[in-house]
Amino acid sequence: MSTKNDPLMAKVELIMESPSERNKYLGLETFEDKINFLKNHFILKDVEIRMLERKYLLSPSKREELIEEVNDLIKRMDL
């Protein structure tokens, strides 16, 4: 899905544009640490955090999907 069509992923893309933020995220080992990094980031507003929780955190398969999407986004940026 294009980040232009997904406001949450558009914000995640903004976060990951910063090399220091990408490195912080990539240094995190657990899913919970990665989710907390995103949820507590100052760029995300309450509405995006609620979207994150509703869209990705209610099922284990969706959690994996979120991590894959963020990792794919980072790979595209590093090209």
55 CB burial (10 A radius; 0-12, 13-18, 19+):
middle
State the pLDDT at residue 7. 86
| Spatial distance between the Cα atoms of 36 and 64, rounded to a whole number of angstroms | 15
DSSP 8-class letter at 41? -
**How does pLDDT run across 2-22, given as a tens digit for each residue?**
566 788 899 999 999 999 999
Structure tokens at 38: 């995103």
State the pLDDT at residue 66. 92
For each successive 10 residues of the chain (79 residues), what is the average pLDDT? 75 94 95 92 90 88 91 90
Whole-angstrom distance between the N-terminal and C-terminal Cα of the chain?
19
State the pLDDT at residue 42. 92
